[in-house]
Amino acid sequence: MTIDSIGYATTGRPMERQIAGADAAPMAAKRSPATSVDTANAVKGSPSLDEVNRAVSELNQSPQAKSQGLEFSIDSDSKRTVVKVIDQSTKEVLRQIPTPEALEIAKAMEKTSTKGVLIQQIA
């Protein structure tokens, strides 16, 4: 058997699968994809700090976040969102995104006028 014969012997999956039963109605009722104008209008303006804090509080109260050991917060200095993965039994922080080191680097770079120092391009 050659590579060419393998390619012709296999049949590809059909492009679209038929949805039967209860799944058919919700799929037909879905919206069409957003246009670029819709997307641009949805992201205009940034939320206030109070809105972000309220959203973070709601996330922390969700049963999914609690059961998976997730804690959301806003870094006070950089105003960046921080996610921590916490061990449920010991309450130890297993992972933090962004890392404390990355937050410190970001803070140091914002304090000084060294933006773009990490990347140097030579034409």
> Is residue 40 included in any domain, yes or no?
no
- pLDDT at residue 11, rounded to an integer: 52
- pLDDT at residue 108, rounded to an integer: 80
Whether the per-residue pLDDT at 120 is higher than 80: the answer is no
> Is residue 54 included in any domain, yes or no?
no
Phi, psi of 37 (to 5 degrees): -70, -45
Range of the domain at 88: 68-115
Q: What is the mean pLDDT of residues 81-93?
A: 92
**Structural domain count of the chain:** 1
> Is residue 84 included in any domain, yes or no?
yes
Question: What does the alpha-carbon distance between residue 24 and residue 87 come to, in Å, rounded to a whole number?
Answer: 41
Contacts of 71 (CB under 8 A, 6+ apart): 60, 65, 83, 84, 86
> Is residue 121 included in any domain, yes or no?
no
- pLDDT at residue 78, rounded to an integer: 81
> Is residue 8 included in any domain, yes or no?
no
Question: What does the alpha-carbon distance between residue 32 and residue 34 come to, in Å, rounded to a whole number?
Answer: 6
- pLDDT at residue 122, rounded to an integer: 66
Question: What confidence tens digit (pLDDT) does each residue in 11-63 have?
Answer: 555 555 555 555 555 554 566 676 666 665 666 677 888 888 899 999 889 88
Q: Considering the entire predicted model, what is its pTM?
A: 0.52
